[in-house]
Each structure stands twice: as C-alpha cells, then as structure tokens.
Amino acid sequence: MEETVAPDRTEVTNEAHKRQAQKHKEVFEQKLKAATKEKGLIIVNTGTGKGKSTAAFGMGLRVLGHGMRLGVVQFIKGALFSAEREVLGSHKNCEFYTIGDGYTWNTQDREKDIATAEKGWQAALRLMRDPSFDMVILDELNVVLKHEYLNLDAVLDELRSKRPELHVVITGRHAPQELIDQSDLVSEIKPVKHPYKEQGVKAQKGVEF
C-alpha cells in the first residue's frame, strides 16, 4: 500500500493567505476606482474617550505638510496651556486662536461663557469664509453646542453653505445628532482604560497637554 504524504502545512497556510490577500486587493482596487470625487469634508470626532483633539491636530499637521493653510479655533480651553498651540500656532501657514475661559465648571458664569463662545464663533466664521484656508479645526465646538452657548441651527446653516473645497473638523464630546447627520466622516472614541481615572496618574506633558 502506497504511503500518503500529507501536504506541507506551511504551504497550505501560505496559499490560503495569498488567496485571501488577493481577494482583499481586488475589493480595495474596485473601491479605489469607484472613488473619483473630491469634496471638502465635515469631520466630527466625538465620544467620551481621549484623543479627539489629538486626531484633529494630526490632520492639521498633514494639511501643513502639503503646504496648505490651516485655521484653528479652540473653544473652552483658553485657560489651559497646550503644546499643540505652541507648535501649530508658530507655523507660517496656520492661524491659531484659543478663545475660551476654561472648563465650564470653573467659570460658573453662563452669560460669560455664551459671550466667549460667540467671540470664538466669529473667529471661526472669518476663517471658514476666507478662501485661502483649506482646513479649519473647531476644537471643542461640540461642548459649546451641548451647553447651548451657540445656536445649533446657525452653526448647521454655516456648515451647509461652506465653500465646497473646505474641510471642517469639529471635536468634543456629545456631538448633536443633527451635526452627525450633516457630517461626512464621524468617529466616536470610546474609553477602554484611562490612567487618570483608574490608576490615579495625573495629566502629563506630551500625553494630555
């Protein structure tokens, strides 16, 4: 009786991997071929996890790396130092405005918070309506909208009528559903582990600020 030789396991595994990779490649190329349009996007980073603003500033660096112009308005965070403001704000192709009085539980003055938010929104309008800017980041705008410091309908109307080629990135917890519905790209960042909450590790340079 002739002995049966089992196929080499490595060869079988490699062949299966090759077929799977080829299938993924074909699907990717089909999607790439179909995606022919270009447009300015409304991008929302929301959720209760850490990294929403960090992700937005990463896109801002990409914009600057392409020689494009970036505008940034930071709501809420005015009382806090941020290293990203030091770096991006010093770039020749970036205008960076921090217009806020700190966390709402620190200010404890709704009328003042509304006035400050309106000031930040006026700066945002100027940047978004200036055709020289390619991307505008509205950091923590979602928080402002949640507390109703700005009129949501007015913000949505402005985003709806923005220049077709302009990218607008909006960050902050609790993005309104109406904004999510109107956006092109929405990412929700969820917490899994956090050193501050679970280990008592304080905010550190280069990680939180």
Question: Is the separation of the CB atoms in 56 and 135 below 8 Å?
Answer: no
Helices (H), 69-183: 83-88, 104-107, 110-129, 141-146, 152-160, 177-182
C-alpha dihedral, 31 to 33 to 35 to 38, nearest 10°:
150
d(C-alpha 158, C-alpha 144), whole Å: 16
Kindly provide the b/e burial profile for residues 123-151, where b requires at least 16 CB atoms within 10 angstroms of the residue's own CB.
Answer: bbeebbeeeebbbbbbbbbbbbbeeebbe
Q: Spelled out in words, what is the top-level CATH class assigned to the domain 40-199?
A: alpha beta
Entry pTM: 0.84
Model pLDDT, residue 191: 92
Q: Which two tokens stand for residue 56?
A: 């937005």
pLDDT at 117: 94
φ/ψ (deg, to 5) at 164: -60, -30
Residue bearing tokens 């996890």:
49
89 burial (CB, 10 Å; 0-12 / 13-18 / 19+) is middle
Going by C-beta distance under 8 Å and a sequence separation of 6 or more, which residues neighbour residue 186? 43, 44, 46, 175, 180
pLDDT at residue 106, rounded to an integer: 57
Helices (H) and strands (E) in the chain, counts: 9, 6
pLDDT at 19: 83
Q: Residue 174 CA to chain centroid, in angstroms?
A: 14
CA-angle at 151, arms to 175 and 127, nearest 5°:
80
The pLDDT assigned to 5 comes to 56
Locate the domains of the chain by residue range: 40-199
> pLDDT of the chain along its 209 residues, tens only?
555 655 667 766 888 888 888 888 888 788 777 777 799 999 999 999 999 999 999 999 999 999 999 999 999 877 667 889 999 999 999 999 999 765 555 566 889 899 999 999 999 999 999 999 999 999 999 999 999 999 999 999 999 999 999 999 999 999 999 999 999 999 999 999 988 777 888 888 888 87
Note the pLDDT of residue 3: 59
CB hemisphere CA count around 40 (13 angstroms): 19
Q: What was the pLDDT predicted at 92? A: 97
